[in-house]
């Protein structure tokens, strides 16, 4: 898939869990609820960080402590659509929204019992940098090949 096609992959961020090929379940805790009885806003952001971190480490095989280049976070976003609360787990889904030369933008959906409509949607942008210069570098080929497999437009197929 060419870079232009990858960059133009759809921007739909509110579809069912089936549109997110990488998924994890995240347990909630009593203390995650706020005084209104739903998950505190920061918990949603932690869920987004959790799925991106696990995907990066375990699916992309990135080692932030040893690799010559690694991703740093340059932007995050969370949009709230419905309430989630303890004791229900959060089902988090991730797909690649766009893929640039040195950056990848993930689309994330956080779901409760309703897997057709996310309770929250998010965006998370990583830029790969060189360990020594701390400057952006192209995403390593092995990582890019894995990312291209789950670009948003392919996830729904």
Per residue in 24-80, pLDDT (tens digit) is 999 999 999 999 999 999 999 999 999 999 999 999 999 999 999 999 999 999 999
DSSP result, 41-66: HHHHHHHHHHHHHHIIIIIS---TTT
Residue 152, pLDDT > 80, answer: no
Residue 33 has which token pair?
Answer: 């609820």
Per-residue model confidence (pLDDT) at position 15: 81
DSSP result, 27-40: ---GGGB-TTSSB-
Q: What is the pLDDT of residues 69-87, one digit of tens each?
A: 999 999 999 999 999 999 9
Nearest-angstrom CA–CA distance, 118 and 14? 6
* Contact criterion met (CB below 8 Å) for 27 and 81: no
Nearest-angstrom CA–CA distance, 64 and 31? 30
Structure confidence at residue 153 as a pLDDT band (50, 70, 90) = low
List the CATH number of the domain containing 72. Answer: 3.10.129.10
Per-residue model confidence (pLDDT) at position 13: 56
* Contact criterion met (CB below 8 Å) for 52 and 110: no
Give residue 142's domain range. Answer: 3-155
Residue 156, pLDDT > 70, answer: no
What's the structural domain count of the chain? 1
Q: What is the pLDDT of residues 106-135, one digit of tens each?
A: 999 999 988 889 999 999 999 999 999 999
Is the bond preceding residue 87 a cis peptide, omega within 30 degrees?
A: yes
């Amino acid at each position: 898939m060419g870079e232009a096609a990858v960059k133009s992959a759809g921007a739909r961020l509110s579809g069912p869990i089936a549109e997110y090929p990488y998924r994890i379940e995240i347990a909630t805790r009593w203390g995650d609820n706020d005084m209104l009885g739903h998950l505190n806003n920061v918990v949603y952001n932690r869920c987004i960080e959790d799925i991106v971190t696990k995907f990066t480490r375990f699916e992309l095989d990135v080692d932030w402590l040893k690799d010559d280049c690694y991703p740093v976070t340059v932007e995050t976003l969370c949009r709230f659509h419905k309430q989630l609360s303890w004791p229900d787990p959060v089902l988090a889904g991730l797909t690649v929204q766009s893929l640039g030369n040195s950056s990848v933008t993930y689309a994330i959906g956080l779901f409760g019992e309703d897997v057709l409509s996310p309770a929250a949607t998010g965006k998370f942008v990583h830029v790969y940098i060189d360990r020594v210069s701390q400057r952006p570098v192209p995403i390593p080929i092995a990582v890019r090949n894995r990312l291209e497999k789950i670009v948003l437009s392919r996830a729904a197929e």
